[in-house]
Amino acid sequence: MNVISFLQQTIHLGPETEADLARIIVREQFPKNHILVRPGQYYRRLMFVEEGLIREHYLSMSGKDTTYRFHTEGNFVTADESFIDNQPSQYTFETLEDSVICSISHADFETLLRQHPEFEQLHILVMHQLIREMKERITALQFQTATERYESLLQSQPSIFQRVSLGHIASFLGISQETLSRIRSKR
Amino acid sequence: MNVISFLQQTIHLGPETEADLARIIVREQFPKNHILVRPGQYYRRLMFVEEGLIREHYLSMSGKDTTYRFHTEGNFVTADESFIDNQPSQYTFETLEDSVICSISHADFETLLRQHPEFEQLHILVMHQLIREMKERITALQFQTATERYESLLQSQPSIFQRVSLGHIASFLGISQETLSRIRSKR
DNA sequence: TTTGCTTTTTGACTTTTGTCAAAGACTTTG
DNA sequence: CAAAGTCTTTGACAAAAGTCAAAAAGCAAA
């Protein structure tokens, strides 16, 4: 699914708008295990995953690496601290598969919103979806057991288990790799 | 802090806009322990807490009551499922203190955005802040210990401990009341 | 101020999860 | 296909957190 087709699902794009988009969108191909953004980096671009998988993770002071979330094809991604607050990213973004990523700069994004107000609609829609997902995530972490969270993930994104190592999934669920392994062995 | 003054910190309000606002804002006073929204209810209003404190909580199937978050004076609040997705709220909203709450309907909010585009700016600002807070919350729940989360809360919102019972705070932190009590006794 | 109610703490015990270490399975590559 | 590397599982133990029950403390209203 490429960005343009994706956008057309939600908003109508006139030929002029499409031309504008084509001018500002950068399409890049990255190999597996490529680091897109590192902690401390200013990365003020809005990305869209056309193909592949990005892992966003956090390095604690003790050096432990914890997956914040996975971003799969057909989704928008930003280094929030940079894109929203113009601050250095706290998180690392890396590809876990060969990936195709389209992106536009923050400045171009702002211009786009000003010149084509129909994108405002979409912008809000994307933020709403993000808020919805985050709320579910918070409640899951707050009052579900590790096993329940595992079952939910299995339900909602079964394919992730074929694509990502269990260590990364464990830290995403907020548990150790060994605990995840034991949960899985009991069924 | 009343809504109008609060809004003026961020955007300039012309006299006409102020008049429009005065027409659509409903200001209500509620006693302590008043339920504002119950699960299953459609509550499509954007609220602003002028005074007091709202607790947003979730009832699990087993009947356990878990605090999702606290909303204090000077903040916007919505029953997200209703306001954003036009679905019944999954959460309960109740005052924990005598409170003054201003609110406008979803329809009026939409109209306001259309007629006074300067609110769009603010709207996005509020969503950005929400996203920032939620991300911090997720990472805290994912890879901090209960003690660390307690310390963070003590840092960021010390006054909450004077205003809310420890049982509610414990469930907000994702731990049992007894665990919280033991964490507190060790210092 | 006494009584009743709610909140908080404490104790004893159980369950869950984490940690460390090693073994096993699976991949990749020379 | 063998060797090296990575990922996953397993075991033994330790630490963290949950549960249940009861006591203590705090608060509010009569």
Q: Per residue in B55-77, pLDDT tens?
A: 999 988 778 899 999 999 999 99
Decide if B140 is inside a domain: no
Instruction: Report yes or no: A47 and A37 within 8 Å, Cβ to Cβ.
Output: no
Q: What kind and span of H or E run contains A118?
A: helix A118-143
Which one has a higher pLDDT value, B54 or A186? B54
How many domains are contained in chain B?
1
pLDDT at A187: 66
Measured over the CA atoms of residue A21, residue A12, residue A118 and residue A78, the dihedral's sign is: negative
**First vs last Cα of chain B: how many Å apart?**
35
Beta-carbon contacts of residue A106 (< 8 Å; ≥ 6 apart): A44, A45, A46, A83
Do residues A54 and A68 make contact, with C-beta atoms less than 8 angstroms apart? no
Q: Is the pLDDT of residue B155 over 70?
A: yes
For residue B137, which residues of chain A lie inside 8 Å, CB to CB? 138
* Residue A156, domain member (yes or no): no
CATH code assigned at B66? 2.60.120.10
Flag whether A75 is in a domain.
Answer: yes
User: Which chain A residues have a beta carbon less than 8 Å from that of B135?
Assistant: 68, 80, 134
Residues 168-187 of B with CB under 7 A from strand C: 177-178, 180-182, 184-185
Contacts B128 to A, Cβ<8 Å: 84-85
Look at residue B167 and tell me if it is in a domain: no
Domain that holds residue A36: 3-116
Residue B147 placed within a domain: no
Given phi > 0 = left and psi -120 to 50 = alpha, else beta, which region is B161?
alpha
Q: Any atom of strand C under 7 A from CB of A176? A: yes
Contact B139 A68 (CB under 8 A): yes
Burial of B31 (0-12, 13-18, 19+ CB in 10 A): exposed
Does some domain include residue A172?
Answer: no
Which of residues 107 to 166 on B have a Cβ less than 7 angstroms from any strand C atom?
A: 165-166
Q: Give a yes or no: residue B73 inside a domain.
A: yes
Q: Taking CB atoms and an 8 Å limit, are B131 and A132 in contact across chains?
A: no
**Residue A151: inside a domain:** no
pLDDT in tens, A129-148: 999 999 999 999 998 889 99
Give yes or no for a contact between B68 and B56, defined as CB atoms under 8 angstroms apart: yes
CA B176 to C1' D28, whole Å: 27
With bands split at pLDDT 50, 70 and 90, how would you rate the model's confidence at A62?
A: confident
